[in-house]
Structure 1
Amino acid sequence: MAPDSWSGLMEAAQNGHGGAYRRLLGETSEWLTRYFERRLPPGEVDDAVQETLLAIHRRRHTYDPRYPFAPWLAAIAKNKWVDQLRSLARRSADELPDAIATGDHEAAVVSSSVLASLLDQLRPVQAQAILLVKVQGYSIDEASAQTGLSPSAVKMNIHRGLARLTALIEKTPDVE
C-alpha cells in the first residue's frame, strides 16, 4: 500500500478499527526499516524502528486526518533518528574490554624483516619479480605488465633470485 492510503488507515484506527491499525503499523514498519537502514548502523535499525512505532502509538491521538499521514510519520521518524544518533554519540567508543584477544605478531614482523634484508641483497629486478609473483600473488603475465619485462625475463629473474636467496640462506650460520 502506498503512503497516500496511510492517512485513511490512521483515521480508521483512530475510530477504533483494530485491523486498520495493525495494517498501518505493519506497512509503516517496512517503510521505517528502509528509512533507518540508510541512516544508521545495522545494529541500530531494529531499535529505531521499534522506538518509532511506540512513539506513533503514544501520539496517535495527535494525528489530524485533514493532513497527510506520511509527513507526520516522517517527522516522528526524524526525531527518533536524532535520538538514536545522540545515544550512539554518548556511548564511549574509547572503552575497550580488558579481555580482547590480540595475536602475537612477532613472528610475522621478524619474517618480514628477514625477507626484506634478504631481498635487499638481490638485484632490484630479481627482488621485484619475487615480491610480485611469490609474495603478492601476481601471475607471470601480471608481473610482466607491472615491470615492463617480458614474461620469460620475469621467470628468469625469479629463478635466479631464488637461487641467490638459497645460497645466501645456506651461508648464514644462525638461520634455523
Structure 2
Amino acid sequence: MPQSGKANQAKIDLENSMGKKIFEIILMDISNPNSVKTAVNSLPHAVILNAGGQGGKDPLALTESGMTNIASTNLLGHMVLVDELIKMNKITNEVLYVSSEGARGIKGIMKKPNLKTNSVNEFISVLNGSFSDPKFDGGEAYGYGYIKYIGTLWTAANARKYPI
C-alpha cells in the first residue's frame, strides 16, 4: 500500500521520539469493513486506534453498513479491526483506543454526552444518525462525542472480556 506523506512524517517523529525504528505504516479505509479486514494480515503486535474525524463532507450520510460516516470512521472500523485481530490471535501486546474529550464533553464547545438509558436502541440511534433530529449544531459535531463515548464503553468491555 502506498504511504502518505503525513503518515510517513508521523512515523519519523515517533521513531525519533522513541529512539527505535519499530513502527509500520498500514493504510486502510477505517470506515470500510472490507478494507479493514484486508489490512489485518499485515498488522503488527500493538495497535493504536485513532481515526478521529468528522466523517468527511457528509458526516450523517449512511454507509453501506447502515451507520453514519462519522460513526463508521470513529468506531465501526476499529471494532471490525480488533475483532479480526482477536480471531487471528494477532493481538500479543496492546490495543489502545484513543478517545476524546468529546466522550466527556468539552466546556463551552461540546456538551457531555447525555444518553438516558445506555440501551442498545439508544446506541443504534446514535450510530445510524436518527438521534440527530433535530440536528446537532456544528459545535456538537454531529454526535462525535456520543460516538467516542460508545467507543470508550466498547473498549472498557473488551478490557474486561480479554484481560491481560
TM range (shorter): under 0.3
Asked which structure has the greater RCO (Cα within 8 Å, sep 6+), the reply is 2
Calculate the TM-score normalised by the size of structure 2: 0.25
* Higher helix residue share: 1
